Amino acid sequence: MDLPTPTGSSSRRQLLRATAATGLAAMAPRLAAGQSAAASPASPPAATATPPPAHPLLTPADDFYDVSRGNPKPHKLVGEALVKARLTPEAWRLEIVADPFVSDLVKEPASITKPLAIADGTALDLPALLEMGKRHGVRYLKAMQCLNIPSPLGQGLWEGVPLRDVLRLCGPMRNVRRLYFHGFHNNDPKQLFQSSLSYTEAMETPPGELPAFIAYRLNGEPVSLERGGPVRMVIPWAHGFKSIKWLQRISLTNDFKANDTYANQNNDPDSHLKTAAYTDKCPDTFAAGQPIIMTGLVMSGLSGLKRVEYWLHRVEPGAPAVTQDDVTYRAAQWTPADLESPPADWRQVLPAGVAPKDLLGFDPATGRPLQWPLRYSMISWSAALKDLKPGKYEFRARAVDLNDFAQPEPRPILKSGKNGVDAVRFEVL
Ligand SMILES: Nc1nc2c(c(=O)[nH]1)N[C@H]1C(S)=C(S)[C@@H](COP(=O)(O)O)O[C@H]1N2
Ligand SMILES: [Mo]
């Protein structure tokens, strides 16, 4: 079993983005990454006109790049099969049970006072979860990214109930060190796809951080079947494999190992989203004399974002290819790129009826983001290249985190998240 086959509308999203600039959009104020939006001076005049962001802040649910296992894939089920899979809003149930697991090392199994089980009618249904949402509901912007795909899958406004509040329904517990969770997998053990968190990660949310939660809305709509609805796990800090779709069952266990299905494929099951810039495809050729706008996305991962910077160099005929950390690479001059500013009017971005002050990560008084970009979210960047003489060029963009580590540092281990610095080549004619 290897990486699940990505399907979906990636080609639509990854349409050529770099453009020869004509009639650029209105001037926009800039805000340095990591700077507090609330503390920024009132609209400093921008030095140059910036183009509109290359990517929307909210990705339409259908435009997410889909990464799903299963045969048939759960979101392809219809009619009675969908009801039997409990993937309609009426049929959906969440079980929370104790795992009897013991081993040479783990002497005592987990136990919980009030399991939620289908057999005795105590499993959580959607109306009960939505009711909990009225008191405990959270909303935030978060990008989804697969550990194994070198580009984010999409970004949404997710809504749901923190896992910690749902777990408290089960009363006092003993010997619970982790929880496993999985979605519908055609009742076939070979298709099981599960992920896990430590009990601490699920129950204790540090101030200002985003909680693990059980999501039922995306971009103001019920989570679609393709995006893992009716109900999906969302783990804000983690790669997509922890955000289990078609959530059905949480199993509380005394097994202390991160027994995620993804770990079996040599992936780091404790990976966090990485701060990294990703460059959009660009045309192979540009006409000399026209400015060129390179674009992409940057993810603010665990270590935050200070800036995006780029390096453009001419590829002289016969020159050897540049490789990461060779002499040419180490001597590179990197130039800061422009970052998308926070929207002046969030109502243009958010679904109707959702105010920015209701979102985690925003100041409840001013409705402004407390940091920019928001942690575990992504924004567009752009770089205007001017006066390029005819010739062949290589362009690279990289993120620098709040600890001054430049991508792919600090963790250039591809099995904890693809964050390589890729080169884009083009020719000016
Ligand atoms: N039940 C289930 N949940 C799943 C998966 C899956 O195959 N089955 N794939 C995971 C992986 S590896 C990723 S990257 C994300 C992708 O989410 P998306 O398809 O909504 O973009 O879903 C995760 N949740
Ligand atoms: Mo993934």
Burial-class residue 38 by CB neighbours within 10 Å (0-12, 13-18, 19+): middle
Do 219 and 239 share a domain, yes or no? yes
What is the domain-level CATH number for residue 31? 2.60.40.650
* Atom 18 of ligand 1, residue of closest alpha carbon: 66
In a domain, 37, yes or no: yes
- 349 and 201 fall within a common domain: no
Q: What domain range is 311 assigned to?
A: 10-56+274-428
Quick one: DSSP state of residue 423? E
| Pair 249, 104 in one domain | yes
Per-residue pLDDT of 238-290, as tens digits, reads: 999 999 999 999 999 999 999 999 999 899 999 999 999 999 999 999 999 98
Rounded to the nearest whole angstrom, what is the distance from the C-alpha of residue 208 to the centroid of ligand 2? 26
How far does residue 3's CA lie from ligand 2's centre (Å)? Answer: 7
Out of 193, 246, 262, give the residue to mutate to test ligand 1, the one with the largest number of ligand atoms within 8 Å of its CB: 193
Distance CA 317, CA 132 (A): 65
CA of 101 relative to ligand 1 center, distance in Å: 26
Starting at the edge strand found earlier in the chain, the sheet holding 307-314 runs 285-286, 423-428, 391-400, 307-314, 335-336
The closest of 343, 376, 90 to 209, measured between CA atoms, is 376
pLDDT on residue 325: 87
The preferred substitution site among 151, 232, 243 for testing ligand 1, maximizing ligand atoms within 8 Å of CB, is 243
Question: Can you tell me the distance from the alpha carbon of 273 to that of 261, in angstroms, rounded to the nearest whole number?
Answer: 18
Please tell me whether residues 103 and 212 are part of one structural domain.
yes
Rg (CA), the chain: 23
Do both 387 and 255 map to the same domain? no
Q: By percentage, how much of the chain surpasses pLDDT 90?
A: 82
Rounded Cα distance, 148 and 393, in Å = 28
Residue nearest to atom 6 of ligand 1 (CA): 68
Report how far residue 141's alpha carbon sits from residue 218's, in angstroms, rounded to the nearest whole number. 10
Ligand 1 atom closest to 67 (CA): 19
Q: Are 108 and 249 members of one domain?
A: yes
Q: What is the pLDDT of residues 35-69, one digit of tens each?
A: 444 444 444 444 455 678 999 999 999 999 999 99
135 with 192, same domain: the answer is yes
Task: Kindly state whether residue 5 falls inside one of the protein's structural domains.
Answer: no
Q: Does residue 171 surpass a pLDDT of 50? A: yes
Q: Do 413 and 283 belong to one domain?
A: yes
CATH number of the domain enclosing 168: 3.90.420.10
> In the numeric block, which tokens belong to residue 67?
């990464």
Final residue belonging to a domain, choices 229, 246, 265? 265
Give the C-alpha separation, 73 to 67, whole Å.
Answer: 10
How many angstroms separate the CA atoms of 364 and 334, rounded? 37
What integer is the mean pLDDT of 142-157?
96
Q: How confident is the model at residue 328 (pLDDT cuts 50, 70, 90)?
A: very high
The reply to whether 3 falls in a domain is no
Asked whether residue 366 is domain-assigned, the answer is yes
Whole-number Å distance between alpha carbons of 373 and 244: 25
4 inside domain: no
- Could you tell me if 312 and 208 lie in one domain? no
172 and 50 in a common domain: no
Contact 261, 280 (CB under 8 A): no
Task: Select the more confidently predicted residue: 2 or 289.
Answer: 289
Q: What is the pLDDT of residue 124?
A: 98
Atom of ligand 1 nearest to the CA of 228: 20
Domains contained in the chain, number: 2
Number of the ligand closest to the Cα of 228: 1
* CB atoms closer than 10 angstroms to residue 354: 18
Ligand nearest to the CA of 66: 1
Using the Cα atoms of residue 37, residue 43, residue 47 and residue 52 in order, give the sign of their dihedral.
Answer: positive
Distance 249 CA to ligand 2 centre (A): 20
- 261 CA from centroid of ligand 2 (Å): 11
Contact 280, 264 (CB under 8 A): no
Ligand 2 center from residue 234 Cα (angstroms): 13
How far away, in angstroms, is 239 Cα from ligand 2 center? Answer: 7
Asked which of 211, 238, 265 is the last residue of a domain, the reply is: 265
255/330 same-domain check: no
Tell me the CA–centroid distance for residue 66 and ligand 1, in Å: 7
Q: What is the mean pLDDT of residues 85-93?
A: 98
In-domain check, residue 2 = no
Query: Of 265, 299, 318, which residue is a domain's last?
Result: 265
Ligand nearest to the CA of 223: 1
Q: Is residue 225 part of a domain?
A: yes
Give the global pTM: 0.89
Which residues does ligand 1 sit against, CB inside 6 Å? 4, 64-69, 144, 146, 153, 183, 193, 227-228, 240-241, 243-246
Cα–Cα distance, 412 to 405 (Å, whole number): 11
Shortest-distance Cα residue to atom 10 of ligand 1: 241
- Among 21-25, 223-227, 281-285, 310-314, the minimum mean pLDDT is found in 21-25
Nearest CA to 282 among 382, 356, 155, 142? Answer: 382
Lowest mean per-residue pLDDT among 146-150, 315-319, 326-330 = 315-319
| Domain match, 177 and 323 both | no
Does 1 map to a domain? no
